[in-house]
Amino acid sequence: EQAGKGGYDHFMLKEINEQPTSLAQAVEGRIDPENGRITLEDLGPGTFAGIETVQLVACGTSYHAALYGSIALNRAGIRTTAVLANEYSISAPPVDDGTLVIAVTQSGETADTLSALRQAKLEGARTLTVTNVVGSTAARVATDALFIRAGPEIGVAATKTFSSQAIMLVLLARRIAADTQSDPPENGEALLAELAGMPDRTEDVLATSDAERIARRYHDSRSYFFIGRGLGFPVALEGALKFKEITYEHAEGFASGELKHGPLALVTPETPVFAVFTGEEDEKTLKNASEAQTRGAPVVAVCPAGHEALEIADGHLEIPETNSTLAGLFANVQLQLVSYHAASLLDRPIDKPRNLAKSVTVE
Ligand code: AGP
């Protein structure tokens, strides 16, 4: 087992550090350098013709990636909802042959997700899975499969697979738009250049992160809040899930604007707030973070250097200046590192948290 950790103390840290490679593998060969079109192996041009709506079904971290993807799809002009797979049997929006149901699942074996996928198929939807495991049940049940190529993930806490799923869904949004719209959004050169530069910039985030120092400063707090807006919201949810999973401390993620609608009552000097800034309506997120700070909460800003949030922030986790579609993924790397270091300081069994399994094969 030690050999498999490649010199790291835990699989989780190894897998966090593998993201420059796993992200490169997710994108490799999928963007035509000539024209910026998204090519998805045997899903040739026109595969998604006739698709009117998309439903993403998933659980846990994969659900957060699905939420990320649903925002990207909606922004590409495709009507999309993300549904928790374990709610699907009683809460699913209606489907027909113009509906594409995408099961997002690292393992391809999550019972809740498989059950939603099977139900959607039975009801006449077209189906696709975005998964990490070739030959998994999801890949066999869904009509089509797209593999995120992240490599094996051993740590129970999903890390590199979240970012690969999210990137895959960003690519897929562009591709479905190209297949279904007469005037799809341009594959802006800027976005494509940013995608190409992601592995190196992730490497920089990993090499220069201040997450250990931040974790050291705050790891004996009472509760931890994560806030973000737009694509920063699923990142906040994921930051909180990771934190509670491996530290056993209470953590919650909120849409930044929701803080004032209730959760603010919980805020004290003992509840650090990690605020994710993705470059969209940052001034509103900053106002929300300031409201928490006024009640005594330390604010850790996850934002680029020179950002206005740093005028008030008590701590800083730096992300590169980038397109808002990708900023959240850099922020997510920083939050993964905070969770990891906090759990390490608390001496938790990081790779195998109590009560959890890597793949949940019962409903
Ligand atoms: C995340 O750290 C957990 N391991 C869990 O939430 C996981 O994402 C969920 O059980 C779904 O698993 P899947 O991606 O294999 O379907």
Tens digits of pLDDT across the chain (363 residues): 777 898 999 999 999 999 999 999 999 999 887 778 888 988 988 999 999 999 999 999 999 999 999 999 999 999 999 999 999 999 999 999 999 999 999 999 999 999 999 999 999 999 999 999 999 999 999 999 999 999 999 999 999 999 999 999 999 999 999 999 988 777 667 778 888 899 999 999 999 999 999 999 999 999 999 999 999 999 999 999 999 999 999 999 999 999 999 999 999 999 999 999 999 999 999 999 999 999 999 999 999 999 999 999 999 999 999 989 999 999 999 999 999 999 999 999 999 999 998 989 989
**How many CA atoms, within 13 angstroms, populate the side-chain half-sphere of residue 60?**
23
Closest atom of ligand 1 relative to the 156 alpha carbon: 4
CB 359 less than 6 A from any atom of ligand 1: yes
Question: What predicted TM-score, i.e. pTM, was given to this entire model?
Answer: 0.97
CA of 111 to the centre of ligand 1 (A): 11
Ligand 1 test: best mutation among 16, 56, 57, 59, most atoms within 8 Å of CB? 59
Distances (CA, A) of 363 to 74, 110, 245: 29, 8, 20
- What ipTM was assigned to the predicted interfaces of this complex? 0.98
CB 158 less than 6 A from any atom of ligand 1: yes
DSSP designation for 103:
E
Cross-strand partners of 300: 274, 315
Cβ contacts of 70 within 8 Å, gap of 6 or more: 54, 56, 80, 81, 82
Whether 358 sits among the annotated catalytic residues: the reply is yes
- Report the C-alpha gap between 142 and 334 in whole angstroms: 34
CA of 158 to the centre of ligand 1 (A): 6
* Nearest CA owner, ligand 1 atom 2: 157
Q: Which two tokens stand for residue 84?
A: 């928790």
CB 105 less than 6 A from any atom of ligand 1: yes
Contact 69, 177 (CB under 8 A): no
Closest C-alpha to 300, from 215, 191, 200 = 215
CB 59 less than 6 A from any atom of ligand 1: yes
Q: Is 257 left (phi over 0), alpha (psi -120 to 50) or beta?
A: alpha
CA of 5 to the centre of ligand 1 (A): 21
